[in-house]
């Protein structure tokens, strides 16, 4: 094959909000009808703080039809084919601020100002629809189920099993946990156990940050985009020190759309803290439950969903770990590479050795999310970017 098999580790899909109604359990539909206009207004208001209307409208102008791939099967196939992408990992929140699941069950999974039972209902509605979407092209789509784990651990375990049975490949947990226990806490062990058993990737996706800290001054956006990746990585910090990967050595975690540049310095810091230093000596024993260094767990248990990779990250690939990087396009979000993925990829990856690029563009994600590579290769052979273009 003279083409790369590309899997985007970060794509998004979601229904127009009113269409989620049919996927909700009937008993929640009355609440849905009341909440829908409020949710639409609130989402647009929140988005206005961050998304400048003119810029987004200009970017979307003329692309409305192609953006409907956010929910339409045929259109999505066409769009991804044209972008050279054979397979994809699918998160919620399709077109930004337009396709969020009901009752605050989208990427941000807030812990306040929501009704837990309804957030669960919204998550399940999305998961049901997503399973259908993925079943239309199972060789090309790895769906990520939304799991509002904080409210009800038993339900979370049940939903993970439901996701597996229904063909989804991964489970997304809230990045922020409010007043609940952090992910170091052993109470989450039953959930890690089921994910390990069923080979479901535990996903965290960028987005949440403490907006309540950011005010509404000139600094707000800059602060948010400087901090948001740190909040994304925070669950991993808690899991590493909590010994989760010691107890669940085959658990796989993916950290998506938070750049990859943080990895080398992060691992140096954690390893430094793990080792015996004057700083740590006074603190007594806080590592005997961990037989490996943080960087060793990372290498074994963590994948970075590297959306919209800049050249610099490709240059840092060995420090980050070539096996731990999975490129992503972020379709249909405006910060993504679509519809100019081909040129963006070339800019980022020119001269990267074929074997390494093969991993970062596709086989890492294939291995992680359980794609059947023989089937996917047939697609890639038709639409994938030519290897010669990167030489």
What span, in angstroms and rounded, lies between the C-alpha atoms of 40 and 18?
A: 10
Residues at the contact surface with a copy of itself, assessed by CB under 8 A: 50-52, 55-56, 59, 181-182, 184-186, 213-215, 217-223, 225-227, 229-230, 234, 237-238, 240-243, 259, 261-262, 265, 268-270, 272-274, 278-287, 289, 308, 310, 334-337
User: Which residue lies nearer to a copy of itself by CB, 1 or 277?
Assistant: 277
Q: Which is nearer to a copy of itself, 181 or 378 (CB)?
A: 181
Least distance from C-beta 37 to a copy of itself, angstroms?
25
Q: Considering beta carbons, is residue 20 or 338 the nearer one to a copy of itself? A: 338
- CB-nearer residue toward a copy of itself: 59 or 375: 59
Q: Minimum distance between the CB of residue 387 and a copy of itself, rounded to whole angstroms? A: 25
User: Smallest distance, Å, CB 91 to a copy of itself?
Assistant: 17
Min dist CB 345 to a copy of itself, Å, is 14
For the bound state, the minimum distance from the C-beta of residue 187 to a copy of itself, rounded and expressed in Å, comes to 10
Contact 7, 380 (CB under 8 A): no
Torsion, Cα 255 256 258 260, to 10 degrees, reads 70
Q: Which is nearer to a copy of itself, 122 or 208 (CB)?
A: 208
- Cβ proximity to a copy of itself: between 143 and 294 the closer is 294
- Count Cβ neighbours within 10 Å for each residue of 352-370 and write b for 16 or more, e otherwise: beeebbbbbbbbbbbebbe
Q: Report in angstroms how near the CB of residue 41 gets to a copy of itself at its nearest.
A: 21
Instruction: Give the C-alpha separation, 40 to 104, whole Å.
Output: 11
Provide the edge-to-edge strand list for the sheet that holds 302-307.
7-12, 87-91, 141-146, 170-172, 201-205, 253-256, 302-307, 325-328
């Amino acid at each position: 094959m003279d083409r790369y098999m590309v899997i985007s580790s970060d794509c998004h899909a979601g229904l127009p909000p009113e269409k989620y109604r049919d996927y909700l359990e009937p008993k929640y539909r009355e609440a849905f009808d009341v909440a829908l206009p409020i949710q639409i207004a609130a989402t647009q208001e929140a988005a206005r703080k961050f998304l400048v209307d003119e810029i987004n409208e200009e970017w979307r102008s003329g692309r409305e039809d192609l953006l409907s791939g956010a929910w339409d099967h045929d259109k999505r196939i066409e769009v991804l084919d044209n972008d050279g992408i054979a397979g994809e990992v699918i998160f919620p929140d399709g077109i930004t601020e337009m396709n969020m699941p009901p009752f605050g069950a989208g990427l941000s999974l807030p812990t306040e100002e929501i009704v837990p039972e309804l957030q669960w209902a919204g998550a399940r509605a999305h998961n049901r629809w997503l399973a259908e979407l993925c079943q239309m092209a199972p060789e090309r789509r790895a769906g990520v189920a939304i799991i509002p784990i904080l409210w009800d651990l038993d339900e979370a375990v049940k939903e993970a099993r439901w996701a597996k049975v229904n063909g989804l490949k991964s489970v997304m947990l809230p990045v922020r946990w409010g007043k609940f226990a952090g992910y170091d806490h052993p109470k989450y062990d039953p959930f890690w156990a089921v994910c390990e058993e069923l080979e479901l990737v535990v996903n965290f996706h960028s987005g949440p940050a403490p907006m309540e800290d950011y005010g509404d001054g000139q600094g707000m956006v800059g602060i948010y985009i400087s901090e948001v990746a740190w909040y994304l990585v925070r669950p991993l910090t808690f899991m590493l020190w909590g010994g989760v990967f010691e107890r669940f050595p085959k658990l796989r975690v993916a950290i998506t759309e938070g750049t990859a540049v943080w990895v080398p310095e992060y691992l140096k810091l954690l390893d430094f803290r793990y080792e015996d230093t004057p700083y740590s000596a006074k603190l007594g024993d806080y590592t005997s439950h961990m037989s490996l260094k943080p960087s060793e767990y990372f290498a074994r248990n963590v994948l970075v969903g590297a959306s919209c990779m800049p050249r610099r990250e490709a240059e840092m690939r060995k420090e980050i770990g070539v096996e731990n990087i999975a490129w992503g396009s972020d379709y249909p979000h405006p910060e993504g590479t679509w519809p100019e993925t081909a040129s963006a990829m070339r800019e980022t990856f020119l001269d990267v050795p074929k074997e390494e690029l093969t991993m970062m563009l596709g086989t890492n994600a294939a291995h992680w999310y359980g794609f059947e590579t023989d089937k996917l290769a047939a697609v890639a052979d038709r639409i994938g970017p030519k290897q010669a273009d990167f030489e």
